[in-house]
Amino acid sequence: MSDSASLVEYRGNCHCGAFQFTFKSAELKPTPCDCGICSKNAYLWVRPAPNSFTVVKGDENTTLASYEFGNKELGHKFCPTCGTSVMGRFRQETRGTTVVLNARALRDVDFASLPQGENYKGSAIGPPYQPPEPVATGPVPKGSTVYNGSCHCGAVAYALLSPAKLTSALECNCSICWRDGALWTYPATANVTFRGLESATEYAFAAKNTQHGFCKRCGVAIYEQWLDDAKQTALNIRTFNNVDLSSMEIEKEDGWGELQPQYEVPA
């Protein structure tokens, strides 16, 4: 059997459907990376077979926004409407392609059954990530813990004044949370102080009750807020700075199965 005959075609899209694509691969083996941007976005990188990446709706250069930093060798491309981080484009070819794709944007894939690629130590390349200056909170009550967080570029930052130390977070596999790679905690809105919300874009769909906030410059998903419950804000703990996520207990929620009607890719 030829190499081309063993390739499988996969389809993917941003959540709002403005950008849709196909590619081929012999085996999906998503690779996480521990660098600053990949950790915040929870990327699961896959490489398409050479010359197999095809855009079927939208345009890579006009439909998607691009974020670069450091040596600017890799452009991180996300949808400016829904915030889905779709792909990366290298300036120079690596391993036969200039494209890497975020497997979280794929359709009809049973991720639990996939083998995982070896963790890529992106944190060891170049200078360490430097988070922005913390957001001021004022006096901290005895027994409380301050958590500082931000998007990658620092345009949107926040401080959470938590009455107790956080020990767990929620991972939801619904269509938007999975694409965002978010791990949620749900503090009282009064305990969260934001800076730079003018740099955030909010995306809503279906019943439009939930506002999904992400940075319009770097695309990192930061928070959720609800029209019918202003007293609570969800924060993506992947955007916490200087917190060891491995110490957190991760609770699983089957949003994909429980939320109705089920998500369908917009035409």
Q: Are 151 and 217 in contact (CB under 8 A)?
A: yes
Is the backbone of residue 74 left (phi > 0), alpha (psi -120 to 50) or beta?
beta
Task: Find the Cα–Cα–Cα–Cα dihedral 136, 139, 145, 149, rounded to 10°.
Answer: -10
Task: State the Cα–Cα distance between residues 241 and 248, nearest whole angstrom.
Answer: 14
Beta bridge pairs of residue 96: none
For 80-119, the pLDDT digits (tens) are: 999 999 999 998 876 667 899 999 999 999 988 888 888 8
User: What's the token pair of residue 163?
Assistant: 């009455």
Q: What is the pLDDT of residues 6-53, one digit of tens each?
A: 899 999 999 999 999 999 999 899 999 999 999 999 999 999 998 999
Question: Tokens 């996300």 map to which residue?
Answer: 78
